[in-house]
Amino acid sequence: MYMGPSDKSKIMYTSNFKSAQNIAFEPKKYRTILHCDANSFFASCETALHPEYKNVPMAVCGSVEDRHGIVLAKNELAAKYNIKTAETVWSAKRKCPELVTVRPTYGLYGEMSQKMNRIFYDYTDMIEPFGIDESWLDVTGSQRLFGNGREIADSIRERVKNELGITVSIGVSFNKVFAKLGSDLQKPNATSVIPPDRFASIVWPLPVSALLFVGPSSVTAFETIGVRTIGDLACCADDLLSQKLGKNGLMLKNFALGRDFSEVTPSGYEPEPKSVSNGMTFKYDLETESDISFAVTYLSLSVAERLRKHGLCCNNVAVTMRRQDLTTSNRSAMLSHPTCLFHEISKTALGIIRSNLKQNEALYSVTVHAEKLTRQGENDFQQSLFPFPWEEKYKKLNSLENAVDNI
């Protein structure tokens, strides 16, 4: 029985995470990509610092007092009680009354992540972080020095364990999507290889949720059309996928067929953002005008600073408001001119909140978004004999805020 795509086209093509191009793939262009995923990273770091945690069920949890009382990571003993990441501490304690809860030590995690990446740099400079505890490595050009993909992965695992006291699971494949999937196949401290000539027999029997970027809502949509495994997705008709999931459905099908060949982006490269946001859940609900104003000003300062860092201005400001009953609403407003000034962003955000918040209604959390971004160079004001008053004021305030950034 034929198990390839419905159009009988070749399985291998070049693509990136956003699109797929029908370019025939040549065997000599196979790359070797590793995805290194630290096992229970926060919990492993705490155990490396406190060896006594090794023999007890332990979880790193957010602060209950600050209303972040969820499980951030758990060790293997806690996992045996079916404790899940993002589960509430209260629920985890019900499953395992003797669970030891530990506050996160954030400085420790950043330090361990840097040490882990320094080990990666001994093998290649083509490293793309995917969060604090995960990275893709392109070792195609390193194999003459260090061996094949599996040998490099095993060497990295051994060094991380011996030098840092934590473990990593590593997926080895010919593209980023399957390397990421491979790192999830065996845990903890394991190497899984998904070769280009046998990927279908390994990948296609897996549930569709194992594929990168397939979330709960996508799983639900797939189930309505009978797609339960990655193999089902690979053989699904394009028009049906487009109807249910739009362009994302076709992109995910290409992933299932091994058609992703996006490049590993070297560390240090920072793509230009499409929007800039900052949000916070506060210790206490924001009830008064002064509390809300202070919170929005604080968030807008960060948003504006990041806009200027990238040389960008926003044309639209949006606010996400979460109320006491945890209902969420999103509202936005267009600006009269592009800006990267915090006082203009905060003024607009406060106006949105005042227009949409009922009297005596409190806010649980707030997020300020700067959207519809343009380059600052595109917003230079035309020389005019009679400039608008706001133009002169904008230039002065922009110079002031840039000076503060430099300080």
Which residue type occupies 192?
Answer: S
Q: Which of 76, 87, 134, 371 is catalytic?
A: 134
Structure tokens at 255: 């992933």
Judge whether 94 and 112 are in contact, CB under 8 Å.
no
**Phi, psi at 173, each rounded to 5°:** -160, -170
* CA angle 54–104–301, rounded 5-degree value: 160
Residue 128 among the catalytic residues: no
Judge whether 380 and 325 are in contact, CB under 8 Å.
no
Judged on CB neighbours under 10 Å (0-12, 13-18, 19+), 334 is exposed
CA distance 262 to 348: 39
Reference 308, options 377, 368, 367, 366; nearest CA is: 377
Residue 307, CA distances (Å) to 185, 267, 273, 350, 378 in order: 39, 21, 9, 19, 14
CA quadruple 147, 153, 154, 160: dihedral positive or negative?
A: positive
Structure tokens at 179: 């390397």
Judge whether 369 and 275 are in contact, CB under 8 Å.
yes
Which residue type occupies 6?
Answer: S
Structure tokens at 130: 């995917």
CA quadruple 142, 144, 145, 148: dihedral positive or negative?
A: positive
* Active-site residue list: 134
